[in-house]
Amino acid sequence: MNFQEHAAKPLLAAAGIAVPASQPARTPEAAAAAQKALGPVVVKAQVPTGKRGKAGGIRKADTPEQTRAAAEAILGMTIDGHRVESVLVESRADIKREFYAAVMNDPASKGPLVLFSTLGGMDIEEAAAKDASAIRRAAVDIRDGFDAKAARAMLKGLDLGGKDAQVADVLVRLYQVYRDNDAELIEINPLAVTGDGRMVALDCKFVMDDSAVKRHEELAKKGTPEKVTGLEAKGRALGLRYIELDGDVGVLANGAGLTMTTMDVVCHHGGKPANFLEIGGEAYTQAKPALELVLANPNVRSLVINFCGAFARTDVMTEGVLAALDAIKPKLPIHWSVHGTGDVEARAMLKEKLGVMPFATMDQACAAAVESARKAGGHR
């Protein structure tokens, strides 16, 4: 779950990392009013993407009029696919130097990774390409945590302009924010050294581990809900992992890997999938609402149902699909591939209820589904 700057920075402030005074605003008038109390400001688009600056979503302003104009220009912009609904009006720091600091889950070391770079204001890949020696990484044993000694050790040899102790202190506090909030990633970029020698976090990105949301229900309310279509929202409400796509072959399969593969094979045969929808895990009993969801997409011209039972029983899933077909009575052609746990019973059911036998392979089922969609498309 992503948190925008205005929702992430209070976590830093609570942990003792300085952030500039700021005020969120949803209208140019509110932005102008906020500026009066803050003096020279930066007006920043609040969208969950790192491409705000380049897109013109961050502007300086010194007066209420300038602030109003800046907010007017930014509100309603679309940045990296996200419409700007609010801005953060933030006191402008006197920046002398910019660093980068982050803590993230690292699949390679299977633990937390603390990152620091003397090249702030750019993303870490960019910094790595520019000067690899400016970047320091420290893999942490999560059982031990990360203290000032470890922070000083990782910073050794970098020229921090005498700010070593302050930077180390920020890294330790940042690690604590990461741990306390089950972060997947927490990043300060830039971490600024100001004219009066303070360290201030000018931006913050925070991604909470989706699997840990139930441990942080209050905080999670401040996260940015993922952008979903109407059908995707319906899928979530049912506990189904549904992603709407722009093709015309409806896909219903069990398990994430198998569902992706069904989409791949549809594409391989020249078709386009209309959705990702898997009913693996406990969701295998949800075949009926799942099929209703697939068919609710008006672009669907044909359907491929691909079950390969392991944990999920194909007979239970087939029963659910048959119930849904009975209720909806769709006119479109359906192509089955059924293997694995419960397949003998599932095949018998299909033969009895629909008078059909599944294709021998999922390749054949997908190819036939693509061909059906092509034919149906011609009559659209």
For other proteins, the binding residues (CB under 8 A) are 105-108, 110-112, 141-143, 179, 182, 184, 209-212, 214-215, 241, 243, 245, 253-261, 263-268, 273, 276, 278, 280-281, 308-312, 339-341, 343, 361-363
Smallest separation (angstroms) from other proteins to the CB of 116:
20
Residue 287 near residue 312 (C-beta atoms within 8 A): no
Smallest separation (angstroms) from other proteins to the CB of 310:
4
Identity of residue 331 = K
Smallest separation (angstroms) from other proteins to the CB of 295:
20
Q: Measured from the CB atom, is 28 or 235 closer to other proteins? A: 235
Smallest separation (angstroms) from other proteins to the CB of 20:
29
Q: Measured from the CB atom, is 245 or 354 closer to other proteins? A: 245
Sign of CA dihedral 193, 199, 203, 207: positive
In the sheet where 58-61 sits, what is the strand order? 22-25, 87-91, 41-45, 58-61
Residue spans of alpha helices (H) in the chain: 5-14, 28-38, 64-74, 124-130, 148-155, 164-180, 217-220, 230-237, 256-268, 287-296, 314-328, 343-354, 362-378
Q: Measured from the CB atom, is 130 or 268 closer to other proteins? A: 268
| Cis ω for the linkage preceding 298 (within 30 of 0) | no
Supply 367's token pair.
């190819």
Orientation angle between helical segments 287-296 and 314-328, nearest 10 degrees: 50
Stated as kind and residue range, the H or E segment containing 309 is: strand 302-309
- Among residues 158, 161, 163, 160, which one has the least CA distance to residue 137? 158
* Cα–Cα distance for residue pair 189/368, rounded to 1 Å: 51
Q: Measured from the CB atom, is 123 or 164 closer to other proteins? A: 123
Sort residue 143 into left (φ over 0), alpha (ψ -120 to 50) or beta: alpha
Q: Measured from the CB atom, is 59 or 335 closer to other proteins? A: 335
Q: Measured from the CB atom, is 5 or 278 closer to other proteins? A: 278
Smallest separation (angstroms) from other proteins to the CB of 349:
17
Smallest separation (angstroms) from other proteins to the CB of 215:
7
Smallest separation (angstroms) from other proteins to the CB of 364:
9
Q: Measured from the CB atom, is 130 or 215 closer to other proteins? A: 215
Smallest separation (angstroms) from other proteins to the CB of 377:
18
Residue 87 near residue 67 (C-beta atoms within 8 A): no
Q: Measured from the CB atom, is 8 or 263 closer to other proteins? A: 263
